[in-house]
Structure 1
């Protein structure tokens, strides 16, 4: 018993820190970070379109192009492609046209993309074959899977070379009725034949599923290789040809997104087998790619681990960048092989405060990879306190900041009868007045300029972000005339009196329905579980609506549930953000393009906004190169949505990251999604600092051990006394 008590005391004393990692983990060549709330919903490159997912998707998969990690303005670089492809143009008869041919003559834009030789998929059982060349695991029967929940539990893993046909297959998947494909509407307008291919796959899928249960989880493999797609062809194993309808300069940027990353058909066949869905074996838990990392551990809502892909191609750190990068030490690793780190470990931490504390203790190398506001948050803490500033400087925290092409906005569901478009001209007029009144009342300058500075930014006056061609945002004299006015040469938010007049036009004077006298109650669908730190923001927003007499009901869910609600069109007023996919105004304007309506086509128009004139101008914009004509169209589109107010606009957020002193090569860049492959960690310094910063506090455990010893002694004495009494009674 004495030995057992000592063992318990030793165990307690040995584990008296609050590190979320195993003992000694700080000495490993691993990058540690957190993720909030739940695991990502989609890791399938065809479906994934959320910032938390990009942390994994862009490290595992490889699109043809990517972005230089250091150059600003952003510059495209080859990833899976051998080089950037310059499009050439054909007329309706297939004849080659000069590059400056008028749009009216151009029938096709052709991209011949050379694919790197020697690209290999990360190891997976889907590629494993027997001695005869037959796939080992493509014919599993019900029950064969057993209790396997990871690809690495299979005996045999294999790989193969990535070829051009894998990129063709990836483009075909955007037409599949069995996948959520958020950019299918965009791609089908440009890739020749993709729209008809959607109808074809719908028919073939329906035939295949005829007679099967509607809720069947493991649907049979729909082999897209059977049906050619006119707009995507593998000329040979290392040349991908993509044919587009007319001129579309922005296509080069789509080639830098995971939507165009290669997909092996073998994975679709493998994951379509019986039992896979029940065992959480799918693209969304176990994606495969040719990128620098692969998913090696996936514990739902708890822990994700990406390990270095043993088949990753030779790749090096850049030797050039932007002015100031060399002085900042960002070119010190010039020419060295990447990735530098062996693993990326993401642990689930539900709230912001504990994430911050773990970072301050050194247990996290960076708070969250996908959040560009952590540097802002910590910077505000630093600037508000001399003690905090001294503490941060002593620990060497790096908080690089920039102004980037990101925004946060509050939107209105266009399908909603109260805040949406409206069914009749009269209802449309009233609903527009209501949206405009709300847009005036919400004082973004106060909220995210003065109160919530840890998430700060500049109030937005439209949909086109600063920093892209044609934007006038932030320029002198440029403002949204619906929400602001010019007073003595200064742009100011319109007074509440203007909003009150609009409320009367809307039929809600004082926030009550003029016909029924009932108070106007609106629903705010928030995409996070409301923690104490988020409650202040929501309370502030409730007060903004209360200025107009409107009661705002907060309907908060976690992000995955929120996405499901939006897909069904069940949202009314919502909060959303957008991190640009590429540095062009089109990537923001398409967020309000009608055919991209989220609840209709699963696109990224979360407001489900539709305006025929806006849509017409958007289609015109797509063929325009940067120049006066494009700038004019952008201005027209901006004016339309300012008047319609499908968003309450929100703010352009500051972009700042947070790194420990021992993390190198970190630089903010919203479109650089494969940041982990460039980061380097000095594990020796980390181990030293973690030990230095987290001295064990022994006295509580010593007191506990002493208390336990006292209880033991008292119990022992009582037991001996009872034994003695029993012995005496028996004599």
Structure 2
């Protein structure tokens, strides 16, 4: 009764008072593997580290088309075009492009023990006592141009496994040579220092990276590459203080799970203060965060209500509490109870949350509307695909037989059915690697994948299973039989997750292959092991996804560029299919530096046709995003490019507390009925017990 008087709901999953704080309440479905920006490239990881780190540029939150703006810079980078002798020239004659970054002078790092010299020389005994870095005294310092240079130097150490190293070596002058030298030096250091130690990158230099002064950095790249500005908005180019590298390099730190991979250190609006990835993670505002205000400009079509916080200081909330929720049903239930501010919509909850009009438009059900829940939606600049490992002896290769096998599977995997069953229609079947909204994407009939679909009477029609079986026979597997064994061909799918939803998807997938007589064997593992397997090129068939890092076709087509293959790069590339077609690669190298226009579009059309024919992927689907959020959750906007948007969000904690109280009142009548039933059962049990005791006493008395 005392708890009820304090209005603390009986089912509150948080420590007392949590929901009354102006913090965001979020969930994550799997522990992030990497929080070190040099190697992190997964969306679940970027959702956290993008709130902590600050690359030079960011996307304007409320502007469309997507627009870059300075983040830690005083203005957008100055760009000069140079000839072979380093003399200024015109864009069309440029051998090099030089980007000059002018840093703000008011940016400081979050409090962290690395910035106090004694903490970089800790005893083994003291390190052994640590569970978090924040058990030590903390310091800070100003951001400098050296920190951005140091981040690029870390990228070049091959052992750090940056997934974009090979991509950047093709652009940043001198990075390839630097990487070869510094990687050798690192390996030698490992041999001489078995217990670890600080590998100081400050003495090493990259020809194309020049620190002019504490606030000025120059980066020289080869030729003309306009997309480089997009890269400067990504976490790979976030600053790293050498002191932090030195702090975490102390012997014994790794054994205590203390590293940049677990405890990031940045200049952004938040700092990670709790990291228990199997339960809970927590961001708190960085007390040293520089001045930044909520935007006052928005593109046409953006609700004016999103400008209510115009010019207010960021962040607009008091932090983020992330809780691990492996299952979609508990997550959804807690959202409906008010314990999460926002949620996606799982298949199980779709009918409860969403109603479709006769024209296919999405709306919310009366239940959602009564709760004041709102939604945001749209086709994402994302592709989900089934990949074939092109170095696999069975499913890979560019021979006619292997190509026919992959084309047959591409037809058999009915993505329209998948979207209907598992996504409740929230997706668009993909015809190629480029999603809507990216230059080069063309809707059917122009952009149709002719190897999987036909265009009939103004509609897209999937080719028949008979056509797929004919391709399978051409591949040498008539009726799905492997001539080497006389039994159904076995193919292997690398799976992640073991939830009921996952099992249903896998059962569906096996059924699709069975239509061709193929036996699909599921090899299940956890997400981190799956990532390792993919980087080693050991999988055969897998499902993968790609969110656009920047709104340019290069950012999708480079997933199929041969020199980005994970096997070719020793696990550092992003081409997980290990696809390598010389003609595609040649066109890619020409296309990536061209401005959007007819010539670039012609090249992209040819490239898309090549991969449609080679079929290194089953081009799965482009997801339709649908996010629900409560009435107390403000400033939500679907900027699909920006990852650092947490700072703009605001919650009305008082409203949240009141709604939670209303929605989670215990059913007292049911309680009283239950209590009465228990009391009745108890009284009956007591009566029965006494009766048995009396009966026993009479029996014993009779025997005397």
363, 367, 371: which one pairs with 2:343? 367
Which secondary structure does the structure 1 equivalent of 2:149 belong to? helix
Contact persistence 1:139–1:273 (CA under 8 A) = yes
Q: Is 1:181 the equivalent of 2:153? A: no
Q: Show structure 2 runs of 5+ residues with no match.
A: 698-704
Instruction: Please tell me whether the aligned partners of residues 380 and 453 of structure 1 are also in contact (alpha carbons under 8 angstroms).
Output: no
- Structure 2 partner of 1:728: none
Write out per-residue CA displacement over residues 168-192 of structure 1, whole angstroms, 9 at most, x where no aligned residue.
0011111113312000010111001
Contact 1:374–1:657 (8 Å) recurs in 2: no
Among candidates 8, 17, 20, match of residue 10 of structure 2? 17
Residues 326 and 332 in structure 1, CA contact (< 8 A), matched pair in contact too: no
Alignment-derived partner of residue 446 in structure 1: 417
Q: Does 1:411 align with 2:383?
A: no
Measured against aligned partners, the alpha-carbon deviations of 1:75-130 in whole angstroms (never above 9, x if no partner) come to 1111112211142110011110123x2xxx321100001111110000100001xx
1:376-391 residue pairs with structure 2 within 5 A? Answer: 378=350, 381-383=353-355, 389-391=365-367
Alpha-carbon distance in 2 for matches of 1:707, 1:15: 27
Distance, in Å, in 1 between the alignment partners of 2:253 and 2:681 is 52
Which SS does the other structure have where 1:695 is aligned? coil
Deviation for aligned residue 1:211? 4.4
Which residue of structure 1 aligns with residue 601 of structure 2? Answer: 631
Deviation >6 Å, runs of 4+:
13-16, 373-377, 384-388, 704-709
Q: Which residue among 486, 498, 502 is the counterpart of 1:534?
A: 502
Q: 1:708 to 1:676 in 2, by over 3 A?
A: farther
**How far apart, in 2, do the equivalents of 1:462 and 1:570 lie?**
25
Alignment partner of 1:662 out of 632, 636, 640: 632
SS at match of 2:479: helix
Q: Which residue of 2 aligns with 1:27?
A: 20
How far does residue 266 in structure 1 lie from its aligned partner after superposition?
0.9
Q: Given the superposition, is the C-alpha separation of residues 496 and 166 from structure 1 closer, same or farther in structure 2, using an over 3 Å criterion?
A: same
Q: TM-score, with normalisation over the residues of structure 2? A: 0.92
Q: Separation in 1 of the partners of 2:198 and 2:677?
A: 60
Task: Identify the residue that residue 438 of structure 2 maps to in structure 1.
Answer: 468
Q: Determine the C-alpha separation between the residues in 1 that align with 2:563 and 2:505.
A: 32
Q: 2:368 maps to which residue?
A: 392
CA contact (8 A) 2:9 2:661 kept: no
Question: What is the TM-score of this pair, normalised by structure 1?
Answer: 0.89
Give the match for residue 402 of structure 2: 431
2:92 aligned with 1:123: no
- Residue 457 of structure 2 corresponds to 488
- C-alpha spacing 1:61/1:600, structure 2 compared with 1 (3 Å): same
Match in the other structure for 1:581 = 549
1:233 aligned residue (191, 201, 210): 210
Give the alignment partner of residue 94 of structure 1, picking from 68, 86, 90. Answer: 86
Between the aligned partners of 1:376 and 1:579, the Cα distance in structure 2 is 25
Deviations 1:218-256 (A, max 9, x none): x22111101111111111111110000111011010011
Report the CA distance shift for 1:120/1:494 in structure 2 as closer, same or farther (over 3 A): same
Shift in CA distance, 144/600, structure 1 to aligned 2, threshold 3 Å: farther
Query: What's 1:524 paired with?
Result: 493
Change (3 A) 1:437 1:334: same
Aligned-residue offset at 1:415: 1.6
Q: Any conservation in 2 of the 1:116–1:238 contact (CA below 8 Å)?
A: yes
Distance 2:299 2:328 in 1: 32
Match of 1:320 in 2: 297
Structure 2 residue corresponding to 1:546, chosen from 511, 514, 530: 514
Partner of 2:700: none
SS of equivalent to 2:220: strand
State whether structure 2 residue 264 is matched by structure 1 residue 292.
no
Cα–Cα, structure 1 residues 253 and 455, in superposed 2: closer, same or farther, change >3 Å?
A: farther
> What is aligned with 2:99?
111
Structure 1 residues not aligned, in runs of 5+: 1-5, 129-134, 423-427, 726-731
Match of 1:149 in 2: 131
- TM alignment of 1:573-722, pairs within 5 A: 573-601=541-569, 602-697=572-667, 703=675
1:203 aligns with 2:203: no
Whether the aligned pair in 2 keeps the contact of 1:88 and 1:96 (CA below 8 Å) is yes
Shift of 1:379: 7.7
SS of 2:307 mapped into structure 1: coil
Which is worse superposed, 391-400 or 600-609?
A: 600-609
